[in-house]
Chain A
Amino acid sequence: MGLTTDPAPPGPLLAPPGTQPPPPTEDPAELRVVPVRHYGRWAAAAAVAVLVAQFVHGLVTNPVWEWHVFADYVLSETIVQAVLVTLQLTAYATVLGFLLGTVLAFMRLSRNPVLQTVAWSYVWVFRSIPMIVQLVFWFNLGALYRELGVGIPFGPVFWSVDSNSLIGTIGAALIGLSLHQAAYAAEIVRGGVLSVDHGQLEAAAALGIPRLRQIRRIVLPQAMRAILPTAGNEIIGLLKGTSVVYVMAIGELFYQVQVVYGRTGRVIPMLMVATAWYVLLTTVLSVAQFYVERRYARGADRTPPPTPLQRLRRLAAAQPVPPPVPRPLKEQP
């Protein structure tokens, strides 16, 4: 994108006073149009460029960054292991959170007042508790319920197990993250379902399509358009949110980084190690989000926009990206 834009051609009535029309003898196609020069834009761009250059210069030259320490640790086994733990926590909590969230969303949308109330209350409770407070709660579950068992409600118990050995630290972290995530996922899914045009449900009902099939085949794929951008936010938030579980001494990325700088005292480069990994993982998720969104945009546009890769290939082939196809005025029967 350039720093100048072509101004809209002024209509005859908008011509500034005193402007002379071009000599009538000249061929209009030969007349060159000179765009307005935006000197202010150039000055602002230069100022910002200087600031960016200063910042990058500082990153490279300031010895406190200790880039050699960064290089030593960024791919070390401890750190890579920790990244895997972070990824696992994110993946499981995403899947569990969104599964439970979808169930809660449809409970909230159902006509059953009991289900509605329970779903609303769940969201209310779990959005109210800070994640870290909830995590410590689950960590101390053993103090609250020493044993968990299966049996008749309020009656005899057939099978029971010590709660700490059943759940464990990772389990407690996963439950905490998932339950927390489910409250937000429920609202995201509900918002997506509400965004689907009511006529779609009516058409599906008029065709006699079974209820579950209506949801799975008609409603959810269209709701995904509204769900995905926010869900992408949530998953990326969760990825970084997993760093909170360091309070439970789980060997995820942030915890391991702290262990290393606790031992070596190299705080800044180790924080950069964590930062670099979080940025990388977020980038991967963002790219994935782009392609998933594109998949669910099928049918939403007359011609889907090209992917960045397709753009690159077209550039390489020196083929200009075609302008969007205009809506045909006459139809071809």
Chain B
Amino acid sequence: MSEDQAMVDIRGVHKSFGALEVLRGVDLRLRPGEVTAILGPSGSGKSTLLRTINHLEKVDRGWISIDGELIGYRSVRGRLYELKEKAVLRQRTHIGFVFQDFNLFPHLTVLENLVEAPVSALRRPRAEAQATARRLLERVGLADKAGAYPRQLSGGQQQRVAIARALALEPKVLLFDEPTSALDPELVGEVLDVIKDLARTGTTMIVVTHEIGFAREVADTVVFMDGGVVVEQGPPSAVLDDPSHPRTRAFLAKVL
């Protein structure tokens, strides 16, 4: 893979929380339109890695760039200078993030949830943002819920709204942090369907997940993480069906 092809470029990322080193040198390169699934046992650093990509967590060493733009820092003569909050917020509008527990704004209606960021962060006209929002709600199958409040929806519906909210900024990359882990089993399918649909339309996505079947079906690349490093990566057929590393084999034996 050549350098200029990478949509997401992660180089030597280290991150510690106090004495605990959660990421110990992670390197990943993702092509535009590629769907990457990150698997791994809990505590392997996969969620932390996802959160460093949109600078919700700062990195201690290494760097991350999206579409050629360094995230959270400015590089001047071999040094990284931290960006001001305002600049980081602007960068985040290019990176959609879907949380495990949705984090919809409960005091705003579904439509207001979708309109808020485009209007306040991108300064879109409200009418235009509303039209986009309604289109997105239709796409996730919730056109009739525009006026509802999040708590009036089921978990699966809330997560679909959260996905639509992330899409409303037309991000270059979509990050999913265990998007179905907080859902009742019978609601998982509808959320995965929406993500599969996005994968078909060529959205660059990184999905931290425990759904092995989903990873096999949708991901172009499966990344297995353990102990803060990438243990193994490759197409699903290689990583999931014929893992080369014993740790990957042990993990898959437990979850499959």
- The digit string for B19-55, where 1 denotes a CB below 8 A from any CB of A, is 0000000000000000000000000000000000010
Q: CB distance B56 to A331 under 8 Å? A: no
How many angstroms between the C-alpha atoms of A203 and B150 in the bound complex?
14
Is B14 at the interface (CB under 8 A from chain A)? no
Given contact pairs A200-B105, A210-B121, A217 touches B93 in the complex (Cβ within 8 A): no
- Provide the residues of chain A in CB contact with B120, threshold 8 Å: 209-210, 213, 217
Please report which residues of chain A, range 288-333, place their CB below 8 angstroms from some CB of chain B when the two chains form the complex: 296, 298-302, 328, 331, 333
B165 and chain A: residue at smallest CB distance:
A207
Q: CB distance B116 to A208 under 8 Å? A: no
Q: Give, as a whole number of angstroms, the nearest-CB distance from B125 to chain A.
A: 17
Is A109 at the interface (CB under 8 A from chain B)? no
How many angstroms between the C-alpha atoms of A206 and B116 in the bound complex?
12
Q: CB distance B121 to A199 under 8 Å? A: no
Q: CB distance A205 to B89 under 8 Å? A: yes
Please report which residues of chain A, range 185-235, place their CB below 8 angstroms from some CB of chain B when the two chains form the complex: 197, 199-200, 202-211, 213, 217-218, 221-222
Given contact pairs A206-B56, A302-B152, A200 touches B103 in the complex (Cβ within 8 A): yes
Q: CB distance A222 to B56 under 8 Å? A: no
How many angstroms between the C-alpha atoms of A206 and B28 in the bound complex?
21
Determine which of A209, A218, A331 lies in contact with B157 in the assembled complex, contact meaning CB atoms within 8 Å.
Answer: A331
Q: CB distance B105 to A205 under 8 Å? A: no
Determine which of A199, A200, A302 lies in contact with B151 in the assembled complex, contact meaning CB atoms within 8 Å.
Answer: A302
Please report which residues of chain B, range 84-104, place their CB below 8 angstroms from some CB of chain A when the two chains form the complex: 85-86, 89-93, 95, 97, 99, 101, 103-104
Determine which of B56, B107, B166 lies in contact with A299 in the assembled complex, contact meaning CB atoms within 8 Å.
Answer: B107
Q: CB distance B156 to A331 under 8 Å? A: yes
Q: CB distance B107 to A207 under 8 Å? A: no
- Provide the residues of chain A in CB contact with B92, threshold 8 Å: 205-208
Given contact pairs A202-B103, A217-B116, A222-B107, A207 touches B121 in the complex (Cβ within 8 A): yes
Q: CB distance B116 to A300 under 8 Å? A: no
How many angstroms between the C-alpha atoms of A301 and B149 in the bound complex?
9
Determine which of B101, B117, B152, B166 lies in contact with A209 in the assembled complex, contact meaning CB atoms within 8 Å.
Answer: B117
How many angstroms between the C-alpha atoms of A328 and B152 in the bound complex?
9
How many angstroms between the C-alpha atoms of A331 and B160 in the bound complex?
13
Q: Chain A residues in contact with chain B, CB under 8 A?
A: 197, 199-200, 202-211, 213, 217-218, 221-222, 296, 298-302, 328, 331, 333
8 smallest beta-carbon distances between A and B, as pairs: A299-B149, A203-B103, A207-B117, A208-B93, A206-B97, A208-B92, A208-B121, A199-B103
Q: List 10 A-B contacts (CB under 8 A).
A: A207-B97, A207-B117, A208-B92, A208-B93, A209-B89, A209-B116, A209-B120, A299-B151, A331-B156, A331-B187
